[in-house]
Amino acid sequence: MTETIAGLGVSPLEIPVVLGAVVLILARWFPARARGPITLAGVAAVVPAGAALLVLGVRWQLVPVLAGAAIALLFAAPPLLRRRPERPARRAPWWAALPGSAACLGLVAAGAAAAWAFPRPVFPEPSGPYAVGTTVTQWTDPDRPETATPGPGDRRTVVVQLWYPARKSPASVERARYLGRTEREARVVSRGLADYMGVPGFLLDEVPRARTRSVSGAAVADGGGRFPLVLFSPGLGGVRTQSTAWAEELASRGYVVAALDHPYDSAAVVLADGRTVRTRIAATGDPAEDARRAASWTAVRAGDLSFVLTQLGRLDRGEIPGSLAGRLDIRRAAATGHSLGGAAALQAARQDPRFAAVINLDGFPRDPAPQPFRQPALALTAPVAPGENPTYIPRLTQVLKLSTAAGYHLTVPGSAHLTFTDAPLYLPPVPALVGSPGRTAGPRLTAAATVAFLDVALRGRPGDPAETLPAYGDLTVHRPAGGPVPGTTGRPDADTARSGTRP
* C-alpha separations of 316 from 163, 235, 237, 324 in Å: 15, 28, 30, 6
Helix (H, G, I), strand (E, B) or coil at 483: coil
Taking Cα atoms as reference points, which of 293, 497, 323, 298 lies closest to residue 400?
497
Q: Which tens digit of pLDDT belongs to each residue from 207-222?
A: 999 999 999 999 999 9
Q: What are phi and psi of 48, to 5 degrees?
A: -65, -45
C-alpha–C-alpha distance, residues 59 and 410, integer Å? 40
At 79 the pLDDT is 63
Of 65, 82, 117, which closes a domain?
117
Q: Which tens digit of pLDDT belongs to each residue from 476-500?
A: 999 986 544 443 333 333 344 444 4
Res. 92 pLDDT band, cuts 50 70 90: low
C-alpha–C-alpha distance, residues 343 and 362, integer Å? 9
C-alpha–C-alpha distance, residues 300 and 202, integer Å? 32
Co-location of 302 and 392 in the same domain: yes
Co-location of 220 and 110 in the same domain: no
Q: What are phi and psi of 435, to 5 degrees?
A: 85, 180
- For residue 10, tell me if it sits in a domain: no
C-alpha–C-alpha distance, residues 294 and 291, integer Å? 5
**CA Rg, the chain, in Å?**
27
Burial of 218 (0-12, 13-18, 19+ CB in 10 A): buried
At 385 the pLDDT is 87
Question: Residue 82: pLDDT above 80?
Answer: no
- For residue 503, tell me if it sits in a domain: no
Taking Cα atoms as reference points, which of 120, 325, 128 lies closest to residue 227?
325
- For residue 2, tell me if it sits in a domain: no
- Which residues share a beta bridge with 165? 132
Q: Are strands 474-478 and 495-498 parallel, antiparallel or unpaired?
A: antiparallel
Write 41-44 long-range contacts (CB < 8 A, 24+): 42/69, 42/72, 42/73, 42/76, 43/73, 43/77, 44/20
Burial of 451 (0-12, 13-18, 19+ CB in 10 A): buried
Give me the helices (H) in 57-182, please: 63-76, 78-81, 94-117
- Report the helix count and the strand count for the chain, using DSSP H and E: 13, 13
H helix or E strand, kind and range, residue 145: strand 131-145
Q: Which tens digit of pLDDT belongs to each residue from 376-392?
A: 999 999 999 888 889 99
List the CATH number of the domain containing 210.
Answer: 3.40.50.1820
CA 52 to chain centre: 31
Helix (H, G, I), strand (E, B) or coil at 151: coil
Of 78, 93, 117, which closes a domain?
117
Q: DSSP letter for 233, please.
A: E
More confident residue, 484 or 421: 421
- For residue 369, tell me if it sits in a domain: yes
Res. 502 pLDDT band, cuts 50 70 90: very low
- For residue 435, tell me if it sits in a domain: yes
H helix or E strand, kind and range, residue 495: strand 495-498
Co-location of 79 and 30 in the same domain: yes
At 151 the pLDDT is 83
More confident residue, 53 or 76: 53
In this prediction, residues 340-354 reach a mean pLDDT of 97
- For residue 492, tell me if it sits in a domain: yes
Task: Please give the tally of structural domains in the chain.
Answer: 2
Q: Which tens digit of pLDDT belongs to each residue from 12-26?
A: 888 888 998 898 888
Co-location of 338 and 224 in the same domain: yes
In this prediction, residues 303-319 reach a mean pLDDT of 98
Mind spelling out the 3-state secondary structure of 182-225? CHHHHHHHHHHHHHHHCCCHHHHCCHHHCECCCEECCCECCCCC
Co-location of 22 and 162 in the same domain: no
Mean pLDDT computed over every residue of the chain: 89
Q: Cβ(445)–Cβ(437) under 8 Å? A: yes
Co-location of 183 and 103 in the same domain: no
Contacts of 259 (CB under 8 A, 6+ apart): 160, 161, 163, 231, 232, 233, 234, 240, 241, 242, 243, 247
In this prediction, residues 7-15 reach a mean pLDDT of 80
Co-location of 176 and 266 in the same domain: yes
Q: Which tens digit of pLDDT belongs to each residue from 262-294?
A: 999 999 999 999 999 999 888 888 888 988 999
Co-location of 204 and 275 in the same domain: yes
In this prediction, residues 350-368 reach a mean pLDDT of 96
Tell me which residue range forms the domain holding 86: 15-117
- For residue 3, tell me if it sits in a domain: no
At 39 the pLDDT is 86
At 499 the pLDDT is 41
Taking Cα atoms as reference points, which of 482, 484, 483, 488 lies closest to residue 469?
488
* C-alpha separations of 385 from 27, 395, 409, 435 in Å: 50, 16, 16, 14
Burial of 174 (0-12, 13-18, 19+ CB in 10 A): exposed
Co-location of 157 and 225 in the same domain: yes
Co-location of 491 and 388 in the same domain: yes
At 91 the pLDDT is 63
Q: Which tens digit of pLDDT belongs to each residue from 103-140?
A: 999 999 999 999 889 999 999 999 999 999 999 999 99
C-alpha–C-alpha distance, residues 186 and 121, integer Å? 13
C-alpha–C-alpha distance, residues 479 and 400, integer Å? 9
In this prediction, residues 223-246 reach a mean pLDDT of 96
In this structure, the dihedral spanned by the alpha carbons of residues 302, 305, 311 and 313, taken in order and rounded to 10 degrees, is: -110
In this prediction, residues 427-456 reach a mean pLDDT of 93
Co-location of 329 and 198 in the same domain: yes
Of 82, 117, 152, which closes a domain?
117
- For residue 452, tell me if it sits in a domain: yes
Co-location of 232 and 373 in the same domain: yes
